[in-house]
Amino acid sequence: MTNVDVHQHLWTASFLAALRARDEPPFLDGWTLHTAGEPPYEVPSADHDVTGRAELAAADGLGRALVSMSAPLGVEWLPSDEARPLLAAYHEDAAGLPEPFGAWAAACVRDIDADATAADLDLGFAGLQLPANALADAAGYARCAPLLDLLEARGLPLFVHPGPAPGASPGPGWWPAMVPYVQQMHSAWFAFRAFGRPRHPRLRVCFALLAGLAPLHGERFAARGGDEGRGGVDPDVFVETSSYGPRAVDSVVRVLGTDVVVMGSDRPYAEPPQQPGFGLGGATAYAFRITNPRRLLTGKD
């Protein structure tokens, strides 16, 4: 039995070099990150030290930690001639990370190339991460359909993560994470319900950060003509817990139950929970860290 964290970030040497080779966002100047939608960010170098991160994962008791390219960078939204070198650098190193790491693949969403993504998935990735703002409406699902068809055909999951926040209002450093990221996840949750699930009936999907707490809006959804209560909880739609604690997780569990919640930490941007079961008991901790991630990743109980 393996404890799994489905949501971490770890930039390896090739990806760091590819970011430093650029002079337009996203790029690194030394360890200063520049993106189109957020103020410059001083990246602690230790956050992306593979050996040190492996030791942290072991201390957390993890048998597997899935890393992904940070979608808020905006790499997936670049034109393909700019995105491909960054994607290639990410995939090259991420596929070879040591135990206990695994990784999510990434894909350009501005110029869809399902064949390129298929080749990346062939390297052994757990599934595909896409930015939430690429899956926010019917047009997004139409554009990304070849990628989602590929995942369905291979029985691999989709991980929906906040994308870039261009034009975000000036404010404190926490603003993008608390406002545009959450708004994106809220939109993506309902867009999947309206446009994604009808088009991709066999797709397993996991939404980061408890889908921006969108599941808690079920009563309003029903009051405004939605189909809340018809068909119950979708057993193949998961949410992960990053940056939230017992109150939020308990609230989501009251709506979705324990079977579709998986543990994600968002390390190095947040810490794993002090209580693996968020105060809901040992059986819940086992479900969040072992049973549910296994079903998300393999489709098997």
Report the CATH number at residue 109.
3.20.20.140
pTM equals 0.96
With 0-12 / 13-18 / 19 or more C-beta atoms within 10 angstroms meaning exposed / middle / buried, residue 38 is: buried
φ, ψ for residue 101, nearest 5 deg: -80, 140
CB 293 within 8 A of CB 259: no
Distance from C-alpha of 141 to C-alpha of 134, rounded to nearest angstrom: 8
CB 95 within 8 A of CB 102: no
pLDDT in tens, the chain (301 residues): 699 999 999 999 999 999 999 999 999 999 999 998 788 999 999 999 999 999 999 999 999 999 999 999 999 999 999 999 999 999 999 999 999 999 999 999 999 999 999 999 999 999 999 999 999 999 999 999 999 999 999 999 999 999 998 766 667 888 889 999 999 999 999 999 999 999 999 999 999 999 999 999 988 888 888 775 555 799 999 999 999 999 999 999 999 999 999 999 999 999 998 888 999 999 999 999 999 999 999 999 8
- Range(s) of the domain holding residue 278: 4-298
Report CA dihedral (79, 84, 90, 95) to the nearest 10 degrees.
130
| Helical spans, DSSP H, in the chain | 13-20, 50-59, 80-94, 114-121, 138-154, 175-178, 180-191, 197-199, 218-223, 246-256, 282-286, 292-298
Q: What is the number of domains present in the chain?
A: 1
Distance from C-alpha of 265 to C-alpha of 68, rounded to nearest angstrom: 12
